[in-house]
């Protein structure tokens, strides 16, 4: 069996020394070796709560129904010819459009979030013949070259100025922003996250989003809701935008779409946005897009998520009360608590304090996800399969970590 020391040596030599360093800090010298439900087992025998994993494990690790569906497909036909029609991808697309209510009938499958951001922008530009995309300050849409242009933080564009997509970023609290840009540029699409995940679990104002949708459509532009992190009941509904009645032309889904077992993402959209791909299905394609193992997971994942939806509401209420109490107990360290449903951000007084809290949490047995766009914020992403006892344990660990890491008055 490979030891933890050997793993870190391989990471340093073949991947990145910084990955080895951060992984060593997070695991206190141990590595992950197994996982089940909300728990991850480490090489030193410890078991930790996983409220991180960057929103992938909404159903926890190795959900039995998803694993069974993937295993059955693995034993039947694990890959596709790409020449013949594949019934697994066809069934998954029908299941997904139905899951979102049927108003958006078309689907493109990718493997990660950036995949479907890329194809959504490509289709909007081709369908409108316009070059520009409006994105939102604080938003995160991926790091591949096209998606990176939409991601607001300049940190990931150093040395990469001049990305191929023409993007303007607008303030999330400015109702007139889309109307203004439509008068001065050729806008193909407006892209936003209803709840910005990497920016610290920030819900965008619904009435402003509603105004943006109206103005975009009046100006002939498409509207795309990026729910790769906040959708699929992470924030309470199958789609945040559709639940709010926003007339979007496309919804982007990913992360938990493969049930936390296999990689899968999707653009679910209108006929008009999909029109270039309907006319030429090879206009945008990928060898592993709509992969049978991933598509086999989708119905099982959606079914399991729906079974747990009411339980998720109860966990959300428990988080509300616990995080409010945490803020009241630590007013000097905790500046704000944000988020919706099972996507929460605890904003601390400084990046140094937030970093110290993350390390304290890991050492005490709770994994969370830092925020790439807001280094003062610690993000909590509890799985739907968490029990009330799991959430209570996580809140107790968080309280102890903040107490230990908070700066001395």
* Domains parsed from the chain with CATH numbers: 49-59+308-405 (3.90.1150.10), 64-307 (3.40.640.10)
Give mean pLDDT, residues 164-169.
86
pLDDT digits (tens, 9 = 90+) for 355-396: 999 999 999 999 999 998 899 999 999 999 999 999 999 999
- By C-alpha distance, which of 311, 376, 401, 372 is closest to 138? 372
Phi and psi torsions of 201, nearest 5°: 60, 55
Does residue 163 register a pLDDT over 60?
no
Contact 202, 345 (CB under 8 A): yes
Share of the chain above pLDDT 90, in %: 88
Mean pLDDT, all residues of the chain? 94
Give mean pLDDT, residues 291-302.
98
Give mean pLDDT, residues 11-36.
92
Side-chain-side CA neighbours of residue 94 (13 Å): 6
Contact 151, 143 (CB under 8 A): yes
Does residue 41 register a pLDDT over 90?
yes
Does residue 209 register a pLDDT over 70?
yes
pLDDT bracket for residue 165 (50, 70, 90):
confident
Report pLDDT for 399.
97
Report pLDDT for 162.
61
Phi and psi torsions of 400, nearest 5°: -65, -40
> What's the predicted TM-score (pTM) here?
0.95
Residue 331 to residue 279: CA distance in whole angstroms: 57
Choice among 24-28, 67-71, 107-111 with the minimum mean pLDDT: 24-28
- Provide the CA 94 distance to its chain's centre, in angstroms: 22
Report pLDDT for 161.
65
Residue 14 to residue 20: CA distance in whole angstroms: 10
Contact 186, 127 (CB under 8 A): no
pLDDT bracket for residue 409 (50, 70, 90):
low
Does residue 143 register a pLDDT over 80?
no
pLDDT bracket for residue 84 (50, 70, 90):
very high
Give mean pLDDT, residues 313-334.
97
Residue 354 to residue 331: CA distance in whole angstroms: 14
């Amino acid at each position: 069996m490979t030891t933890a020391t050997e793993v870190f040596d391989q990471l340093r030599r073949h991947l990145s020394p910084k990955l080895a360093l951060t992984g060593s800090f997070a695991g206190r010298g141990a590595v992950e070796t197994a996982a089940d439900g909300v728990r991850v087992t480490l090489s030193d025998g410890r078991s930790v709560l996983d409220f991180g994993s960057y929103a992938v494990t909404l159903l926890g690790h190795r959900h039995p129904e998803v694993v069974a569906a993937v295993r059955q497909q693995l034993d039947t036909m694990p890959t596709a010819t790409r020449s013949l029609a594949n019934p697994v991808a066809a069934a998954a697309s029908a299941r997904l459009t139905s899951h979102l209510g049927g108003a958006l009938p078309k689907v493109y499958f990718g493997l990660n979030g950036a995949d479907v951001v890329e194809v959504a922008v490509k289709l909007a530009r081709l369908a409108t013949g316009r070059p520009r995309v409006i994105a939102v300050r604080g938003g995160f849409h991926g790091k591949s070259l096209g998606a990176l242009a939409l991601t607001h933080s300049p940190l990931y564009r150093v040395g990469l100025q001049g990305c191929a997509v023409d993007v303007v970023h607008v303030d999330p609290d400015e109702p007139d922003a889309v109307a203004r840009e439509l008068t001065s540029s050729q806008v193909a699409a407006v892209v936003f996250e209803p709840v910005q995940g990497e920016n610290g679990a920030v819900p965008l104002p619904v009435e402003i989003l509603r105004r943006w949708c109206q103005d975009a459509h009046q100006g002939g532009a498409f509207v795309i809701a990026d729910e790769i992190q906040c959708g699929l009941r992470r924030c309470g509904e199958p789609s945040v935008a559709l639940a709010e009645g926003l007339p979007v032309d496309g919804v982007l889904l990913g992360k938990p779409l493969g049930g936390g077992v296999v990689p899968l993402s999707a653009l679910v959209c209108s006929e008009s946005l999909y029109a270039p791909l309907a006319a030429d299905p090879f206009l945008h394609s990928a060898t592993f897009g709509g992969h049978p193992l991933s598509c086999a997971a989708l119905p099982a994942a959606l079914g399991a998520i729906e079974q747990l939806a009411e339980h998720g509401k109860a966990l959300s209420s428990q988080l509300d009360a616990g995080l409010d109490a945490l803020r009241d107990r630590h007013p000097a360290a905790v500046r704000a608590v944000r988020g919706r449903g099972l996507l929460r951000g605890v904003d601390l007084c400084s990046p140094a304090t937030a970093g110290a809290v993350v390390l304290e949490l890991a050492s005490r047995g709770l994994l969370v996800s830092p925020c790439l766009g807001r280094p003062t914020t610690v993000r909590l992403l509890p799985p739907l399969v968490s029990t009330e006892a799991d959430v209570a344990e996580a809140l107790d660990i968080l309280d102890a970590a903040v107490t230990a890491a908070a700066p001395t008055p």
